[in-house]
Every structure is written in C-alpha cells, then in structure tokens.
Amino acid sequence: AQKVTQAQTEISVVEKEDVTLDCVYETRDTTYYLFWYKQPPSGELVFLIRRNSFDEQNEISGRYSWNFQKSTSSFNFTITASQVVDSAVYFCALSEDNYGQNFVFGPGTRLSVLP
C-alpha cells in the first residue's frame, strides 16, 4: 500500500530563516506522482506542485524549492527566507497516476513563522 510520512508534526521558525519540510513516501509502483499542498489558517487548500517519478530535477518557484530523490524516496520542500504568510499546514501526497488512483496524503506539517 502506498504511504506518505511527514515526520515533522510542527515546526517553528523566525521570519527570514530557511526551513525544509520533509516528505518520505512508500510505493511499489515505478510510475507515480508526488504533490505538495498548503492549507493556511483560513482553511482553504492551495495546490503547490505536482512531480512525476520520471522527473528528478529539482524545482524552484520563487522562494519555494523541491528536492526529489528517488534513492531515498523523499520529496522535500524548502522555503527560503520564510515569511509570516508562509504559516500554514503543508501536506505531501502521492498518487499512482495523474487521475488520483491510490491517492494518499501525509498527515501534514504545521509551519509557524514568527515575526
């Protein structure tokens, strides 16, 4: 069965610090998709990224970057120069395909960025 582990339940950092949120996944599939989502205190969900298992290139989007390493089954998310607005719960997720087959979420990591 597919599984996503986010070992960090809560993280607190001071504004402008860099922070990495860990995501470790388990799957027997050779093709799969990994996702990150953000849920700010207001409660809405925000899609951040989707990555397929064939693309191990790191992704950077502004202050956000993702490090995908198949060798360690990890898909870590780094926020550079964190800001108070980054405070949220972040979810990592895994899907067998692009449609949602065997889609599982991790438990989430609550990030608090203090001013």
Partner 1 sequence: DSGVTQTPKHLITATGQRVTLRCSPRSGDLSVYWYQQSLDQGLQFLIHYYNGEERAKGNILERFSAQQFPDLHSELNLSSLELGDSALYFCASSVDLAGGPGDEQFFGPGTRLTVL
Residues found near partner 1 in the complex (CB under 8 A) = 43-47, 50, 91, 93, 95, 97-105, 107-108
Nearest distance, CB of residue 93 and partner 1, angstroms: 8
For partner 1, the closer of residues 41 and 81 by Cβ is 41
Comparison of 13 and 49: residue with beta carbon closer to partner 1: 49
Task: Give the Cα separation of 4 and 27 in Å (integer).
Answer: 9
Q: Min. distance of Cβ 68 from partner 1 in angstroms?
A: 17
Are the beta carbons of 112 and 46 closer than 8 angstroms?
no
Closest CB to partner 1 among residues 13, 65: 65
String of DSSP letters for 64-105 = EEEEEEGGGTEEEEEESS--GGG-EEEEEEEESSTT-TT-EE
**Radius of gyration for the chain, computed over Cα atoms and rounded to the nearest angstrom:** 14
Q: How far is the CB of 27 from partner 1 (least distance, A)?
A: 15
- Residue 19 or 93: the one with the smaller Cβ distance to partner 1 is 93
Q: Are 22 and 7 in contact (CB under 8 A)?
A: yes
